[in-house]
């Protein structure tokens, strides 16, 4: 079982990243691919899922993300894809607060999580999240960027990333309308804003 990989990020796209370690490129499914920078050496914590006809590597920005992922997939009805969608919001504090407050409505805003699964999450995880470390916050890059490009090249990638996380085309279309006025400066900016909008519905 792998704990982490250290290597150069050679590809970032809406569905996964590729990290090259000793000449081997590992395809890794992550919550937010655009949090990673191409051509940069980085440590990526990983979890290897082995199924009958598939072996998949899931990656995490830090150990705290991996810890939360492991908690989530221990819940009946939560698969790796749903767990990644929860991690992608970068609001683990809000997620834990929702569990402790029995807030099923908040939990059902995530893809593939209905009332039954939301109840199961609360039943299995309430009061059991204290040992999960606080994930590394994402640095807001809006103040670091230069002039905003009128037609953002990042919006399409962010919407594709939402689809890969399991959000429906209807949800993505609704969010895209609101994002047209958003002055983000990276795909990561747009994706984080899109996920915030989804959770506000």
Report the CATH superfamily, name and number, of domain 64-125: 5' to 3' exonuclease, C-terminal subdomain (1.10.150.20)
The domain 4-60 having CATH identifier 3.40.50.720: the answer here is no
**In terms of DSSP bridges, do strands 54-60 and 17-21 run parallel, antiparallel, or are they unpaired?**
unpaired
CB 65 within 8 A of CB 133: no
pLDDT (0 to 100) of residue 42: 95
Regarding the domain delimited by 143-199, which CATH topology (the fold level of the hierarchy) does it fall under?
Helicase, Ruva Protein; domain 3 (1.10.8)
CB 126 within 8 A of CB 99: yes
CA distance 79 to 82: 5
Average pLDDT of adjacent 10-residue blocks, the chain of 201 residues: 94 94 96 92 95 91 91 92 88 83 91 92 88 54 35 80 87 84 86 86 58
pLDDT (0 to 100) of residue 92: 75
b/e code 105-142 from CB counts within 10 Å (16+ = b): ebbbbbbebeeebbebbbebbeeebeebeebeeeeeee
Does the fold of domain 143-199 match that of domain 4-60? no
What is the distance, to the nearest Å, from the Cα of residue 71 to the centroid of all Cα atoms in its chain?
A: 15
Q: What pTM did the predictor assign?
A: 0.73
Diameter of the chain measured on Cα atoms? 50
pLDDT (0 to 100) of residue 148: 33
3-state helix, strand, coil in the chain (%, to 5): 40, 20, 40
CA distance 65 to 59: 9
Q: How far is CA 45 from CA 61, 67, 125, 138, in A?
A: 7, 10, 22, 17
CA distance 113 to 80: 12
pLDDT (0 to 100) of residue 150: 43
In the chain, where are the structural domains located? 4-60, 64-125, 143-199
Q: How many CB atoms lie within 10 A of CB 149?
A: 11
pLDDT (0 to 100) of residue 181: 80
């Amino acid at each position: 079982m792998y704990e982490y990989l250290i290597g150069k990020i050679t590809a970032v796209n809406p569905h996964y990243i590729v990290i090259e370690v000793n000449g081997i490129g590992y395809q890794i499914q992550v919550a937010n691919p655009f949090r990673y920078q191409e051509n940069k050496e980085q440590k990526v914590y990983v979890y290897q899922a082995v199924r009958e006809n598939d072996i998949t590597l899931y990656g995490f920005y830090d150990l705290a993300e991996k810890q939360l992922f492991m908690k989530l997939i221990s819940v009946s009805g939560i698969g790796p894809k749903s767990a990644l969608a929860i991690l992608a919001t970068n609001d683990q504090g809000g997620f834990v607060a929702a569990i402790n407050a029995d807030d099923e409505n908040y939990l059902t805003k995530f893809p593939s999580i209905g009332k039954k699964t939301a109840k199961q999450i609360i039943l299995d995880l309430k009061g059991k999240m204290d040992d999960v470390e606080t994930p590394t916050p994402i640095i807001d890059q809006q103040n670091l960027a230069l002039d905003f490009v009128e037609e953002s090249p990042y919006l399409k990638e962010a919407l594709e990333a939402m689809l890969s996380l399991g959000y429906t085309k209807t949800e993505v279309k609704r969010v895209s309308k609101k994002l047209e006025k958003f002055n983000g400066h990276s795909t990561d900016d747009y994706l984080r804003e899109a996920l915030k909008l989804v959770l506000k519905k």
